[in-house]
Amino acid sequence: MRKLTVYGGRRLFGEVPVDGAKNAALPLLAATVLTDDEVILENVPDVGDVHTMIALLESVGKRVQALAPDVYSIRTERGLSGIPPEGLVRKLRASFLLLGPLMARVGASQLPLPGGCPIGVRPVDLHLKGLKALGARIESQGGFWCARAARLHPAEIHLDYPSVGATEQIMMTAALVPGRTVISNPAQDPEVHDLARLLIKMGAGIMIEPGRLIIEGAKTLSGTVHTVIPDRINAGTFLIAGAIAGGDVTVRRCQPLHLEALLSKLDELGIIVQEHVESVRVISDGPGSFWGGRVEARPYPGFPTDLQPQMMALLSVARGSSVVKETVWESRFAHAAELVRMGARIRLEGATAFLEGVERLSGTQVSVNDVRAGAALALAGLVAEGTTVILDRDEHIRRGYRDLAGELNRLGAAIIEETSDEKEVVSPEVR
C-alpha cells in the first residue's frame, strides 16, 4: 500500500516532461511475440503495468533486456508457450492482447479473464468475434478462454463498438495471416496508430482509412526499432493540475494534436491554453477562476475516459454548474464519492454526474480504486484546505504514473508519499 499526504493551497509553476504512453507501450510489448527477432522499444514508461507485461513476456519465452532506463530489447529466448501464468494475467487488462498473437505463433493459447482497474464489466466479446472471423476456434473452460487454429485466414470484420483492445488484438493477429483483412469501425486512438506503425516496420502492410483499417498480413515478421509515443493521458493530468491549482505549467515532449479534446474543453472553461509544436502551456488563477461546463467521455477523438476523473476534480471547484457523462465505462464514477467526502457537490444519475462548483475543497482521508481516480484525488488535494490523505492500497497510481507525487512536487506542490511500512519516498520541504 502507498499513502500520499497532500498539503493543499500551493500554486504550480514550471515545466514537466511526459514519458512514453503506457497505453501504447502495452500493445507494443505484446506485439513482440509475433517474431523471434529482436525488437527494440524506446521511450518505454517505468510504470507498474509495463513491468507486469514484461513479466508476462518472459513467462512465455521472451528475453527482455533493459538497455537503458526506458529502452528494452525483446527477443525469443526459447520456444514460445501459449499459456502465460494465471496470476500475472489477472493483474493486467492488457494481458488479454496476448491471446491472438500467441495463437498465431504456436497454434493455441489459453488465458483467464484479465484483471486491471474495476471500472466496468470490460467484455471481451469483440476480441473473440474478431479472432473467430480469422479462423480461430474459441472455447471457454473453467474461467479460461482457449483459442486454437490449425490455419488462420484473412477476413472482413465489423466492430459494433470501436474497442481499442479488440482493434489491437485483431490487427496484431491479422499481421501474421497472409492476405487482406479489413476492420471496419475500428478504434482510431493514437495508441492504435502507434501499434500500426510498429507492425509496418515489422513487415506487415497496414493502411489507415476513415472508418476502417486494412491489414496485409505476412507469413513472418521481423525485428525493428520503435519509439513509443508520448503519454497524452499523463500530459492531460499535469495540464489539469495546473488549471485546478492555479499558476503557469508547461507540459513538454507531448503531441498537442492528441490532446485536442482536452485543450478545447479547457479553453471553453476560460483557462488560458497555449499550444506549441511539442508542448502545451496552461495559465490559471485556480479555483473559481474558470466556468463549469459539460464533459462527455467518448471514444477518440472524443474526450478521453482516462481524463474524466481528473476533469471532475477540476469542475468541482469551477464557477456554476457542470455535467459529466461517461459513455465508455459504466463504473467509472467511484471517485465521485471520494470527491464528495472532500466537499464537492456531486449528484449521480446513472452514467451522468451533475456538479455545483464550490469555492474550496476540504482535506480528509480518501481511497483510490483505480489509476485515474488516484490522479483525480491528488489533484483535488492540491486545492483542498488542510491535508488530504490518499490511501492507495493496491498501488493503482504507480500502475500509470512513474512518479506523480515527485513531478507535482517539482512544480511546487507539497506531497509526501510513503509505503505501507511508513518508509518515506517523496518528502518535499513543507512550510
The DSSP bridge partners found for residue 226 are 41
pLDDT at 93: 87
- Give the CB-side neighbour count of residue 399, counting CA atoms within 13 A: 26
pLDDT at 151 exceeding the cut of 50: yes
Host H or E run for residue 197: helix 190-202
Q: What is the DSSP string of 348-398?
A: EETTEEEEE--S-EE--EEE-SSHHHHHHHHHHHHTEESEEEEEETT-HHH
| 8 A C-beta contact, residue 191 and residue 158 | no
- pLDDT tens column, 42-72: 999 999 999 999 999 999 999 999 999 999 9
Enumerate residues 6+ apart whose C-beta is below 8 A from 329: 119, 120, 122, 305
At residue 180's C-alpha, the angle toward residues 164 and 207, to 5°, is 55
Torsion of CA 415, 420, 424, 429, to 10 degrees: 20
pLDDT at 329: 72
Q: What is the strand order of the sheet 272-275 is part of?
A: 12-17, 247-252, 279-284, 272-275
- pLDDT tens column, 388-420: 999 999 999 999 999 999 999 999 999 999 987
**Which sequence spans correspond to the domains of the chain?**
2-19+230-422, 22-227
DSSP 268: H
The three cell numbers locating residue 397: 497510481
| 8 A C-beta contact, residue 139 and residue 132 | no
The three cell numbers locating residue 343: 466537499
- pLDDT tens column, 318-327: 999 999 999 9
Q: How far is CA 217 from CA 46, 74, 134, 175, in A?
A: 32, 22, 12, 4
Q: What is the mean pLDDT of the chain?
A: 94
| 8 A C-beta contact, residue 44 and residue 228 | yes
The three cell numbers locating residue 112: 483467464
Which residue matches cell numbers 464533459?
Answer: 295
Q: Catalytic residue numbers?
A: 117
Nearest Cα to 262, choosing from 289, 288, 287, 241?
241
DSSP 230: B
334-341 and 308-315 are packed helices; what angle lies between their axes, rounded to 10 degrees? 30
The DSSP bridge partners found for residue 56 are none
> Would you say domain 2-19+230-422 falls under CATH 3.30.470.20?
no
- pLDDT tens column, 287-310: 999 999 999 999 999 999 999 999
The three cell numbers locating residue 349: 444519475
Work out the pLDDT band at 365, boundaries 50, 70, 90: very high
| 8 A C-beta contact, residue 378 and residue 404 | yes
Establish whether domains 2-19+230-422 and 22-227 are of one fold.
yes
Phi-psi region for residue 166, left (φ > 0), alpha (ψ -120 to 50) or beta?
A: alpha
Torsion of CA 238, 5, 69, 97, to 10 degrees: -70
Q: How far is CA 101 from CA 108, 244, 360, in A?
A: 10, 42, 50
How many percent of the chain have pLDDT more than 70?
A: 95
- pLDDT tens column, 3-17: 999 999 999 999 999
Task: Please provide the size of the chain in residues.
Answer: 431
pLDDT at 428 exceeding the cut of 80: no
Q: Measured between alpha carbons, how far is 80 from 116 in angstroms, rounded to an integer?
A: 25
215 by Cβ neighbours in 10 Å (0-12 / 13-18 / 19+) ranks as: buried
pLDDT at 334: 86
Work out the pLDDT band at 115, boundaries 50, 70, 90: low
Nearest Cα to 108, choosing from 135, 127, 132, 136?
136
Q: The domain 22-227 is classified under which CATH number: 3.40.50.800, 3.40.1710.10, 3.30.530.20, 3.65.10.10?
A: 3.65.10.10
Work out the pLDDT band at 423, boundaries 50, 70, 90: very low
Host H or E run for residue 318: none
Q: Give the predicted TM-score (pTM) of the model.
A: 0.94
